[in-house]
Amino acid sequence: MRLKGKVAIITGGAAGIGKATAKVFVEQGATVCICDVNEKVGLETAEELSCTFSKVDVADRQAAQEWVDEIVGNFERVDVLINNAGILRDGLFVKVKDGELVKQMTEDSFDSVVSVNLKGVFNCTQAVAPYMIRKGSGSIVNASSVVGLDGNFGQTNYVATKAGVVGMTKVWARELGRYNIRVNAVAPGMVLTEMLLTMPKDALKAFEQRTPLKRLGTPEEVANLYLFLASDEASYISGEVIRIDGGMVIGT
């Protein structure tokens, strides 16, 4: 029961890595509150795991604040924040044929990914931080990605957000450490989530071959890393970005 007595909130908790994290946190004794934009799946997950669910768009500052305020009103504290919510809108930065521009990443694709993946992390963390400061402790774990460290073809918007999350993690570890609040980031590689399973099978096979462990990761493996960083076992770890990618380096 590594999280017994703790209140943990997880964004993007309806499915994939978020759901796996909610499951292991409940099993380890935490009171778990998840949010997601997918209300139907979120309610199903909450019922299955015996946790609470709220429909929240983390890009909406007011909605994020109201969610956190409600949780503190109900449970009097927040001990753990897992900033897991994220979206993809992949596309080439520019595509040129015979010297002519034929396509480029749209402004909307860039803005929507930044709003959720970067601003959403900012919104939720800023909503939670004052409560953790008053309590004198807390653990915040942000979802980055190996592509935020290495870059990746066709993901200008996504890479920018995940690199930005690394930067914010470093800043917050410095600013919040005096209040006994730890801030870390996790950088998963290719993990078998619903999102990844929409890719062609030959592409998934190629990722497996490029990974030294010769397989893709599972949501449970990432959830276990979230668990470690959230728990007191990681009490002297802050400001770190931990890769969980089977040894894979994007682009090799």
Decide if 132 contacts 179 (C-beta within 8 A): yes
pTM over 0.85: yes
Decide if 35 contacts 54 (C-beta within 8 A): yes
In the structure encoding, which two tokens stand for residue 65, read together? 């604040």
Decide if 113 contacts 164 (C-beta within 8 A): no
Residue 199 has pLDDT above 80, yes or no: no
Find how far residue 38's CA is from the centre of its chain.
Answer: 16
**How many CA atoms lie within 13 Å of 78's alpha carbon, on the beta-carbon side?**
28
236 is known as an active-site residue: no
Q: What is the pLDDT of residue 251?
A: 56
Q: Write phi, then psi, for 204 (nearest 5 degrees).
A: -65, -40
Fold of 7-244: Rossmann fold (3.40.50)
CA-to-CA separations, 215 to 30, 189, 209, in angstroms, rounded = 31, 11, 7
Per-residue pLDDT tens over the stretch 210-242: 888 989 999 999 999 999 999 999 999 999 999
Decide if 224 contacts 218 (C-beta within 8 A): no
Gap between the Cα atoms of 212 and 113, Å rounded = 30
| Least confident residue range of 86-90, 95-99, 146-150, 206-210 | 206-210
Gap between the Cα atoms of 234 and 112, Å rounded = 33
Residue 172's identity, in one-letter code, is W
Q: What is the pLDDT of residue 69?
A: 98
Gap between the Cα atoms of 107 and 166, Å rounded = 23
Q: Write phi, then psi, for 143 (nearest 5 degrees).
A: -85, 110
To the nearest 10°, report the CA torsion of 132, 178, 121, 44: -30
Residue with tokens 């730890």: 182
Decide if 20 contacts 86 (C-beta within 8 A): no
**So where are the chain's domains?**
7-244
Residue 32 has pLDDT above 60, yes or no: yes
Strands (E) across the chain are located at 7-11, 31-36, 52-55, 80-83, 94-97, 100-104, 138-143, 181-188, 241-244
Stretch 55-81: mean pLDDT, rounded? 98
Per-residue pLDDT tens over the stretch 126-185: 999 999 999 999 999 999 999 999 988 899 999 999 999 999 999 999 999 999 999 999
Q: What is the pLDDT of residue 250?
A: 61
**How many CA atoms lie within 13 Å of 127's alpha carbon, on the beta-carbon side?**
28
Stretch 26-38: mean pLDDT, rounded? 98
Nearest to 80 by CA among 236, 202, 231: 231
Which one of 158, 179, 226, 236 is the catalytic residue? 158
Question: Which residues have a Cβ under 8 Å from the Cβ of 242 and sit 6 or more positions away?
Answer: 184, 185, 186, 187, 225, 229
Biggest distance spanned by C-alpha atoms of the chain: 63
